[in-house]
Amino acid sequence: MPRKIRMGMVGGGRDAFIGGVHRIAAAIDQQIELVCGAFSSNPEKSRLSGEDFFLDPSRVYGNYKEMIEKERQLPEDVRMDFISIVTPNHVHYGPAKMALEHGFHVVCDKPLSFDLEEARDLVETVNRTGQIFALTHNYTGYPMVKQARAMIKNDALGKIKKVVVEYPQGWLSTLLESSDQKQAAWRTDPKKSGIAGAMGDIGTHAENLAEYITGLKIKELCADISTLVDGRLLDDDGNILLRFDNGARGVLFASQISVGEENSLAIRIYGEKAGLEWHQMQPNTLIFKHQEKPAEIYRTGVGVLYPETVAAARVPAGHPEGYLEAFANIYRNFAKCVQARIDGVAVDPIYEDYPTVEDGLRGMEFIYKVIESGKSDQKWIKL
């Protein structure tokens, strides 16, 4: 009999940012139930978080190892089906690996891991265990991102020639990590974030978005990577020339010191026949550009859209869906795949659309090459 699938959470206690987002994203479509968690390395905080989420105290654990071990011993109709990992980068690999090895599926925040070695090992582990693994490159969850991808797949643009993808933010335009701001602290700390700051946090979203929509792969890149706030330990700005595998040219820039920018991920794609433009902050609009006739304003819910676009939206045109719904689409698709696995049935292919562990490895390789290029006098670095 169909049932909600059961989630255990690693991280995401009181005051965390991304943990709350994951819980909302998992809740929206009512396919997933939060049943347990190891919300914090601080046991008291973990306990209080469990209360906030109305959990049975016996299923609020002190750490992920305890959680995985204890849940493993619960009856099948009680224990969690998957874990959701919402910790800083250096605590992705441990719970992911252990969960996979113990028969749990995994949702993991991006970037995939602390370093490239972990990423490669996780790919191997997923492939070996056969568990379902979703990485929350959430921006690919937007309906109009899916529409763009489908249009390009169906040749609406002709051969792609140019891509401009950008992700400016301003929140780290001062040395915020010197204050008490937790988000700033770990994201700029090489011991928690890994070799990259802005490039890992947001550059990799831009890379993922560009490759997801275009279906192309970045083949070579040339990066100028900087730390523009004195005292910061990781990069906070990067400007990158791209060459794609089909010969298309591109520009990718990502920044956390662009004062006054909120979360301005955007992409413009130009093909032989037409162009596309999408802005994350106005996510339900996709501009389809032509040279010899008026541009068209594609909108979520208006006209004939691809089935994957339609499946990613919940309300009629003009009722704006946003970041949380896009994020929820990753969870919904993941949940549908897990449900099908549990029920032993084939899943509707429309749901087999979420970022995978391979996308995560790709992102880690991108980060490594970008940082390498930033330090190199060599113009082009192969990816």
Q: Residue 156: what residue type?
A: A
Q: Are 367 and 194 spatial neighbours (Cβ–Cβ below 8 Å)?
A: yes
Residues in the chain: 383
Return the residues of window 176-215 that contact a copy of itself according to CB under 8 A: none
Cis check: omega of the bond before 111, within 30 degrees of 0: yes
Contact flag: residue 331 with a copy of itself (CB under 8 A): no
Largest CA distance in the chain: 66
From CA 34, how far away is CA 32, in angstroms rounded?
7
In the structure encoding, which two tokens stand for residue 210, read together?
């560009």
Residue 75 interacts with a copy of itself (CB under 8 A): yes or no: no
The answer to whether residues 13 and 49 touch, using CB atoms and an 8 Å cutoff, is: yes
322 touching a copy of itself, by CB under 8 A: yes
Give the type of residue at 63: N
Pick 130 or 158: Cβ nearer a copy of itself = 158
Least distance between a copy of itself and beta carbon 68 (Å): 23
Residue (122 or 370) nearer to a copy of itself, CB? 370
**Cα–Cα–Cα angle for 49, 52, 56, rounded to 5 degrees:** 80
**Binding positions for a copy of itself, 1-60, rule CB under 8 A:** 2-4, 17, 20-21, 23-24, 27-30, 34, 51, 53-54
Angle at 13 between CA 10 and CA 18, to 5 degrees: 75
If the CB atoms of residues 116 and 381 are measured against a copy of itself, the closer one turns out to be 381
Residues 301-320 that bind a copy of itself (CB under 8 A): 301-304, 314-320
DSSP string, 43-54: HHHHHHHHHHTT
Binding residues for a copy of itself restricted to 76-135, rule: CB under 8 A: none
Smallest separation (angstroms) from a copy of itself to the CB of 284: 8
| Interaction of residue 241 with a copy of itself, rule CB under 8 A | yes
Q: How far is CA 298 from CA 146, 178, 303, 363, in A?
A: 12, 44, 8, 29
Residue 125 or 333 having the CB closest to a copy of itself: 333
The per-residue b/e assignment along 38-74, b for 16 or more CB within 10 angstroms, e otherwise, is bbbeeeeebbebbeebebeeebbbebbeebbebbeee
Q: Which two tokens stand for residue 141?
A: 């969850």
Q: Looking at residues 252 to 281 of the shown chain, list those that interact with a copy of itself (rule: CB under 8 A).
A: 253, 255, 257-264, 268, 270-275, 280-281
Instruction: Report whether 216 contacts 153 (CB < 8 A).
Output: no
Which region, judged by CB under 8 A, interacts with a copy of itself, from 77-85, 112-120, 293-301, 362-370?
293-301
Q: Which is nearer to a copy of itself, 123 or 221 (CB)?
A: 221
In the bound state with a copy of itself, the residue whose beta carbon lies nearer, of 20 and 43, is 20
β-strands 160-168, 266-271 pairing: antiparallel
- 347 near a copy of itself, judged by CB under 8 A: no
Query: Any contact of residue 245 with a copy of itself (CB under 8 A)?
Result: no
In the region spanning residues 160 to 179, those forming contacts with a copy of itself, defined by CB under 8 A, are 161-162, 164, 166, 168-171, 173-174
Q: How far is the CB of 172 from a copy of itself (least distance, A)?
A: 10
Angular region, 215: left φ>0, alpha ψ -120 to 50, beta rest = left
53-72 residues in contact with a copy of itself (CB under 8 A) are 53-54
CB of 289 to a copy of itself, least distance (A): 2
C-beta closer to a copy of itself: residue 231 or 294: 294
Shortest Å distance, C-beta 122 to a copy of itself:
27
C-alpha distances (whole Å) from 147 to each of 208, 214, 273 are 16, 11, 17
Rg of the chain in Å (alpha carbons): 21
Site for a copy of itself in 213-232 (CB under 8 A): 222, 224, 226, 228
Q: Taking the complex as a whole, how short is the minimal distance between the CB of residue 240 and a copy of itself, in angstroms?
A: 8
Number of residues counted as binding a copy of itself (CB under 8 A): 93
Tell the smallest beta-carbon distance from residue 229 to a copy of itself (Å): 8
Listed ranges 58-66, 114-122, 329-337, 371-379: which one lies at the site for a copy of itself (CB under 8 A): 371-379
